[in-house]
Amino acid sequence: MTTSTLLQPPGLPEFSAKHIPVPGARLWVVDSGGNGTPLVLLHANTSTVNSWHAQFPAFHAAGYRVIAFDRRGWGQSFADPETGPQPGSIAEDLDALANAMGLQRFCLLGIAGGGFAALDYAAWQPSRLLKLIIAGSNGKFTEPEMQALSARIAVPGLTGRLEVRPYLEVGVAYRSENPEGFQSFIDMEHTARQEGAPEQPLRTPNTYAKIATIATPALILMGGSDLLAPPALMKTWARHLQNAQFAEIGDAGHSINWERPQAFNRIVMEFLG
């Protein structure tokens, strides 16, 4: 067992990190341990488990068993054909991981690209979820309304360019306040996805009709300064959920948990109750 690099508060046990096999992959999993309600974290396309460094200690100290994993092809999670079929969806990897770890029911938090998968999972396996949190995510919807809205908010000449992506991912307030933290984000983003690793598909496309079946209590957490998934965009798709409430951090950009960890953690824990 390897000690994780996540920051840990004094007096708490070290969080464990190890590979857990699932069909088609070996997933790198960080687990705070404990007997609390499991809370599973799904990282963004630009990050790894290390993006949760400010959430692990706070959520664990609040009594939760916090679990995060590098998605297949990201960080230290590797495709492994000998363990089963390829490539598999993130939702299927999550379900296999939950089975392997003996998680019967759990709370699920997905940010940005992790939010795509969290919605996919919630519609597929609603009986396993206690609560659902989606933060800073456009949901990857196939609906024409969402496609048109995404096109309208795109920044001509900037959106989609890899060299400027961190400037769209991280809000201007954080960049002005914390240049060292912004550089750490850039370093993580540049190495998050393994070279040549394919992006896993959703198990089924995200549509309004699909998420309308989700009755799980859901929190939609938005960054008021998010250029990629602004509040207007998130509210457009989230209104189709059966049981959603909304919260906003006004000066946060797309990487809400990284930029405004204290406010993010407080809002999430208030929702989890």
Percent of the chain, pLDDT > 70? Answer: 95
Instruction: Give yes or no for a contact between 206 and 142, defined as CB atoms under 8 angstroms apart.
Output: yes
Domain count of the chain?
Answer: 1
Structure-block tokens of residue 217: 């209590």
Given this model, what pLDDT does residue 10 score? 43
Average pLDDT, the chain: 92
Structure-block tokens of residue 206: 């995200």
> Is 70 exceeded by the pLDDT of residue 11?
no
- pTM for the model stands at 0.94
Return the residue matching tokens 């989890």: 272
- 10 Å CB burial of residue 273 (0-12, 13-18, 19+) is exposed
pLDDT tier at 8 (50, 70, 90 boundaries)?
very low
3-class secondary structure per residue, the chain: CEECCCCCCCCCCCCEEEEEEECCEEEEEEECCCCCCEEEEECCCCCCHHHHCCHHHHHHHCCCEEEEECCCCECCCEECHHHCCCCCCHHHHHHHHHHHCCCCCEEEEEECHHHHHHHHHHHHCHHHEEEEEEECCCCCECCHHHHHHHHHHCCCCCCCCHHHHHHHHCCHHHHHHCHHHHHHHHHHHHHCECCCCCCCCCCCCECHHHHCCCCCCEEEEEECCCCCCCHHHHHHHHCCCCCEEEEEECCCCCCHHHHCHHHHHHHHHHHHC
pLDDT tier at 6 (50, 70, 90 boundaries)?
low
d(CA 132, CA 259): 21
Question: Taking residues 69-92, what's their average pLDDT?
Answer: 90
Least confident of 81-90, 144-153, 246-255: 81-90
AA letter at 95: D
Total Cβ atoms within 10 A of residue 82: 7
> Is 50 exceeded by the pLDDT of residue 12?
no
Total Cβ atoms within 10 A of residue 85: 9
| 68 DSSP β-pair partners | 30, 41
Q: What is the CATH number of the domain that holds 20?
A: 3.40.50.1820
Q: Please confirm whether the linkage preceding 38 is cis (ω < 30° from 0).
A: no
| 41 DSSP β-pair partners | 68, 109
pLDDT tier at 2 (50, 70, 90 boundaries)?
very low
Least confident of 9-13, 112-116, 243-247, 265-269: 9-13
Of residues 104 and 155, more confidence is placed in 104
Given this model, what pLDDT does residue 44 score? 97
Given this model, what pLDDT does residue 83 score? 80
d(CA 157, CA 159): 6
Given this model, what pLDDT does residue 1 score? 35
Q: Quote the domain boundaries for residue 42.
A: 2-272
